[in-house]
Amino acid sequence: MEGGHYLVTLTFYGGINEIGGNKVLLEDNGTRIFLDFGMSFGRRALFFEEFLTPRSANGIGDFLTMGLIPDIPGIYRPDLLSHFGRKPKDADIQAVLLSHAHADHANYISFLHRDIPVYCGETCKYILEAVEEQSQRTMENEVLSFKKRPVYRCDYKTPPEKRTFHTFRTGDTLKIDSLEIQPIHVDHSVPGAYGFLIHTSEGTVVYTGDLRMHGLHSEMTMEFLETARETKPIAMVTEGTRINVERTNESEEQVYAESKQTIADNKKLSIVDFNFKDVDRFTTFYRIARDVGKTLVINFKHACFLERYHRDIKLRTPDSKDDNIRILKPKRLTGTYIDEDYSEYYIKRRLNYPNIITADDLLRHPGQYMVVLNFWYFNMMVDLQPQGGIYIHSLSEPFNEEMEISFDRMHNWLNHFQLQFVQSHCSGHICGPDLEELITGINPKELYPIHTEHPELFEQLPMKTTIVQEGKTYKL
Ligand SMILES: [Zn+2]
């Protein structure tokens, strides 16, 4: 690498001093790719909340003006720019590498020019499909496909435009112009998560995405570590969500053990709440249901995920029509469960499943069932009458004010129905000591921490560490 005629740079647009929202631009001699293009919940919450939202009537304008996305020419959809009164440009980015399907890494792909292809894992794409199937279209969740704006009444029936996706598996090598990229699976709280080794003209750049070492598949993260180390990387862009957290005994197996005993002893209804994108957590509760002889009850949205997971043989998950699974039909419109009450396609096309039940069925033998019920569906407790049962909160504890408010409200529901509260969770993110082990193991020349509220804690590591600034370009 002599002569100095190569020029590789990194520019950071999101996920800086905050958890999530990664948008890292890597340039190598005119090839430009983004590492993730996520939505930052933190930044959005600075200005917006439930009833105060960015307007789709202004195209991309509210998002650009309020700094939710960076103002870069040649990356956004022409329809959104024109709608805002800007002159559209051709796409000037060769690819987005998407590490995994969490919204804070994927969702603002929604705004990107359709000529920019997206590269992601096969299972990651399945999850994006499951999300699309069950979601109302908004400008912030048009990852796989989008409706050209503005949408006039006469356009309602026009099908959406599809984005180009290229899927990969671990072991594949991607070629994007002069760049060669190795995606390597990592363990995270969603399947289909990858880190990337990007071989540039100056050397290898490592990008971690989100990962952990204490999950069920730590061997995947170790494989990432080993392979990355061998490339003697010149730079590493790392997540740092929990750099300030010490190692604990948290594990998926512990969630299993803690929850199993409580559920086995419970003669009333058991309610569990976890994120269905986390297939390991699903497997934990599915295992518990089988091991204690109860039936797991999910909803139609969960069925969308389960049917995609089932397609990936490696995940070894049951189909949504499995003997040990029931799908709970919600009350809509007339409250009488007639077919015409259901207008959403993801429910309508599943109404003929053999394993659909209603709250009335559950009331006959509540001790027989474990219901997956997320907070947003707590009003169904009125039908479920879970008095005296248990509620297992298998999610992280609240870490901001909004979550605290919801958490209090959640407890009001639990108290109202005299439900016993049990907290049992293990994080999707690597803790401080493990992260130190990962970084010193990979041993990059330079370190760029992002996706963290504590970048300064990385400065004690034995390599050149840069605390990045928004929009600034760093030469490698
Ligand atoms: Zn994530």
Sign (positive or negative) of CA dihedral 100, 102, 108, 109: positive
49 CA distance to ligand 1 middle (Å): 22
Residues with CB under 5 A from ligand 1 (ion): 102, 210
Q: How far is the CA of 367 from the centre of ligand 1 (A)?
A: 34
- Give me the sheet containing 31-35, strands edge to edge: 165-168, 118-121, 95-97, 31-35, 24-28, 8-12, 473-475
CA of 460 to the centre of ligand 1 (A): 25
Give residue 379's pLDDT. Answer: 97
Alpha-carbon distance 98 to 127, whole Å? 13
CA of 99 relative to ligand 1 center, distance in Å? 9
State residue 2's pLDDT score: 45
Q: What's the pLDDT score for residue 402? A: 86
φ/ψ of 431, rounded to 5, equals: -85, 170
CB 112 within 8 A of CB 52: no
> What's the confidence (pLDDT) of residue 4?
52
Q: Can you read off the two tokens belonging to residue 82?
A: 């024109």
Question: What are 192-249's pLDDT values in tens digits?
Answer: 999 999 999 999 999 999 999 999 999 999 999 999 999 999 999 999 999 999 999 9
For residue 3, what pLDDT is reported?
47
Integer Cα distance of 86 and 65 in angstroms? 13
What is the C-alpha to C-alpha distance for residues 163 and 185, in angstroms, rounded to an integer? 24
14 alpha carbon – ligand 1 mean position (Å): 14
414 CA to centre of ligand 1 in angstroms: 29
Coil/strand/helix, residue 59 = coil
> What is the rounded CA–CA span in Å between residue 249 and residue 253?
10
**Would you state the pLDDT for residue 5?**
64
CA of 413 to the centre of ligand 1 (A): 29
Rounded to 5 degrees, what are φ and ψ at 96? -115, 130
Provide the residue type at 86 as one letter.
Answer: R
Contact between 303 and 350 (Cβ < 8 Å): yes
Residue type, position 373, single letter: L
210 C-alpha vs ligand 1 centroid, how far in Å? Answer: 5
Give me ligand 1 centre to Cα 231, in Å: 25
Q: What's the 242 CA to ligand 1 centre distance in angstroms? A: 12
pLDDT at 443: 98
The residues of the chain scoring below 50 in pLDDT are: 1-3
Residue 20 Cα, ligand 1 centroid: separation in angstroms? 8
Q: What separation in Å is there between the alpha carbon of 218 and the centre of ligand 1?
A: 16
**268 CA distance to ligand 1 middle (Å):** 34
Rounded to the nearest angstrom, the distance between the alpha carbon of 243 and the centre of ligand 1 is 15
User: Which pTM does this prediction carry?
Assistant: 0.96
Distance from Cα 101 to the centre of ligand 1, integer Å: 7
> Nearest to residue 310, comparing CAs of 291, 345, 283, 271?
283
Q: Give the Å distance between the CA of 337 and the centre of ligand 1.
A: 37
